[in-house]
């Protein structure tokens, strides 16, 4: 079965320091992988997506993620955290050929301290 595991439910960083949000996936097929962000009382915003092109994917707001098939990981990073990055982040897998169904990780809450 396909699944996504976000290894940390809560991450706290200081403003200006690097961010690392960890995600492992399990899939029998070639997956499409996404990171979405959700600010309080808002919908989900796409940060970036991987669809079997370059393994290093750049997204919006300085975020990037690297697809590592050998480790079945898709960790999200940002060199320098900003206060506005405080939100909940979801790692998501979409099954190849199974359009329209996304499987979400449980989410990681990112806290950014001044």
Partner 1 sequence: KAGVTQTPRYLIKTRGQQVTLSCSPISGHRSVSWYQQTPGQGLQFLFEYFSETQRNKGNFPGRFSGRQFSNSRSEMNVSTLELGDSALYLCASSGRTGLPDTQYFGPGTRLTVL
The rounded radius of gyration (Å) of the Cα atoms in the chain is: 13
HEC sequence for 82-93: CHHHCEEEEEEE
5 belongs to the binding site for partner 1 (CB under 8 A): no
Environment class of 2 (CB within 10 Å of its CB; exposed 0-12, middle 13-18, buried 19+): middle
Interaction mask 45-64, partner 1, x per CB under 8 A: xx--x-x-------------
CB of 47 to partner 1, least distance (A): 11
Start-to-end C-alpha separation, the chain: 41
Residues 6+ apart with CB under 8 A from 113: 12, 13, 14, 15
28 interacts with partner 1 by CB under 8 A: no
Check residue 67 for interaction with partner 1 (CB under 8 A): no
Identify the residue among 2, 5, 32, 109 touching partner 1 (CB under 8 A): 32
Site pattern 70..89 for partner 1 (x: CB under 8 A): --------------------
Residues that bind partner 1 (CB under 8 A): 32, 34, 36, 42-46, 49, 51, 90, 94, 96-107
């Amino acid at each position: 079965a396909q699944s996504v595991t976000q290894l940390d439910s809560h991450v706290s960083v200081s403003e200006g320091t690097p961010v690392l949000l960890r995600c492992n996936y399990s899939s029998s097929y070639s997956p499409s992988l996404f990171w979405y962000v959700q600010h309080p009382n808002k919908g989900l915003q796409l940060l970036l997506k991987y669809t079997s092109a370059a393994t290093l994917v750049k997204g919006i707001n300085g975020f990037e993620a690297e697809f590592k098939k050998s480790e079945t990981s898709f960790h999200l990073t940002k060199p320098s955290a900003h206060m506005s990055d405080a939100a909940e982040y979801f790692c998501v897998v979409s099954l190849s050929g199974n359009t329209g169904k996304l499987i979400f990780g449980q989410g990681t809450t990112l806290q950014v301290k001044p």
